[in-house]
Amino acid sequence: MGSIQKTRIIKIIILTSCGLGTLCLIALLAGVYLTSPPSSSEETINFEVPTGSSAQTIAKQLAKHKLIRSEYAFRIVVGHRGSGKHLHAGTYVLRRNMTLWHIVDEFEKGQVTLISWTVPEGLTAAAIAELWETKGFGTADAFREAFQLPRLLKQYGLEDKTVEGYLFPNTYKFAKGITAEEVVEMMLEAFKQRWTETFDKEAIGLGLTQHEIVTLASVIEKEAQSKSERPRIAGVFHNRLKRKWRLQADPTVLYALGNPKRLLTRADLSVDSPYNTYKHKGLPPGPIANPGIDSIIAALRPEKTDYFYFVAIGEGKHHFSKTLSEHNRMIRKIRRASRER
C-alpha cells in the first residue's frame, strides 16, 4: 500500500472518529438538557399518580404540568432503570426545579403525601363505612364489602360474619388511592397490635374469651361518656353477668333496631333480636360497635363494686345504685326534674 493511500485512510479514520465523538457529545448534551429541571423555581406542585398509571400516562401529565422537558426522556429513564412497575400511586409534592432523575426517584420510593383519617371510638362498622364515603375516600358499599371478606375474617381469626368490634379507632395515615380493603386490614392490624398476651391472660382469668371481652367493651363504649366511669360501668355489667341477670343495656337494643336516630320507646325493648339484652341473658352475640382501648381495658379490669344499676344524670355522668329500689327512686327524680324544666 502506497504512502498516499495510507494517508487517505488515516484521514478517513480521524474524520470518522471526530464525527462519532461529536455525535456522542451531542447526545450527552441533549441527555443532560432533557433531564435537567425545566425551571429554577422552588414552586411546589401536588402531582397525583392514579393507581395503575403507566409510565407513558405519567410522562404526559408531568409534561402537561411543565415538570419535565420531555415525555420521551422520562420513558427512556424509567425503561433504563426498569422501574416501570415500581412507580407508586399517590399524591406527590414536586418542585419545578427537580431533575427528571430526582422525580423518578420520588416515584420509585413512594414518597407520597399522606392523608390523615380519624375514626372515633364507638362507631359501628356501618358508620365507619359512611365516614369513609363522607371523607371522599371511596364508597360506603366498597368499605362494607371489605369488612365482610371471608379472607380477612379467617386471617384474623374472627368469630363473627363481619369485623364489627375489631376496627380499631385511631388516626390513620395513608396515601391517596388506598383501597377500602387495605384500610380495613390496617385497622384490624392496629387492633391485633393493641391486644397483648397480658390481655389474653386477664380474659382467661375472668372466664371470658377475647370475643366476649370485645363485645362487653363495645357495650361499655356506648354507655360511658367519660374515661373515669368506664371501669365502674364495667363492674356493674360483670356483677350482672355473674348473677346471670339481663344486662338491660339500651345501646344493644338500638343496635338491634339498626341504630335509629331517636330515643328508645317501651315497645322497642320487646324487639325480637339476640342483641336485645332486655329479653336475653348474658352478652349479645357480638360487638355492637368498635371500642377504644380504654373500654377494652375497663372490660378486662372492672372496678370491684356492689353496684348493679346505673342511670344517666346528664353532662356525661351516671348515678350508680346497689338496689333496684334505689335505682327506681333516682329514675323518678330525674323524670320530675325533666318535667319541671
Kindly list the structural domains of the chain, giving each domain's residue range(s) and its CATH number in brackets, ordered by start. 36-112 (3.30.1490.480), 115-193 (no CATH), 197-305 (no CATH)
pLDDT of residue 176: 78
d(CA 269, CA 278): 6
**Phi-psi category of residue 281: left, alpha or beta, with phi > 0 → left and psi -120 to 50 → alpha:** beta
- 296 and 261 in contact (C-beta within 8 Å)? no
d(CA 236, CA 253): 18
Grid coordinates given for 26: 451531542
Q: What is the pLDDT along the chain (341 residues), one digit of tens a residue?
A: 555 564 555 455 444 555 555 544 454 455 567 888 888 888 888 888 887 788 889 899 999 989 998 888 888 888 877 666 667 777 888 888 989 888 888 888 877 778 899 999 999 999 999 999 999 999 999 999 999 999 988 898 887 777 999 999 999 988 877 899 999 999 999 999 999 999 999 999 999 999 999 999 999 999 998 899 999 999 999 999 999 999 999 999 999 999 998 888 989 999 999 999 999 999 999 999 999 999 999 999 999 999 999 999 888 899 999 999 999 999 999 888 877 76
Residue 276, phi then psi, degrees to nearest 5: -80, 100
d(CA 56, CA 60): 6
Closest CA to 180 of 218, 135, 122, 124: 135
pLDDT of residue 48: 82
Longest dimension (CA), the chain: 129
What one-character DSSP code corresponds to residue 288? S
pLDDT of residue 27: 45
Taken in order 236, 239, 245, 251, the sign of the CA dihedral is positive
Residue 334 C-alpha from the chain's centroid: 41
48, 49, 120 from 43: Cα distances, Å: 16, 19, 36
pLDDT of residue 297: 98
Residue where the block lists cell 386471617: 155
Grid coordinates given for 197: 398476651
Question: Could you tell me which residues come within 8 angstroms of residue 304 by beta carbon, excluding any fewer than 6 positions away?
Answer: 235
Q: Exposed e or buried b for every residue in 73-83, given b needs 16+ CB within 10 A?
A: bbbbbbeeeee
pLDDT of residue 21: 52
pLDDT of residue 25: 46
pLDDT of residue 3: 55
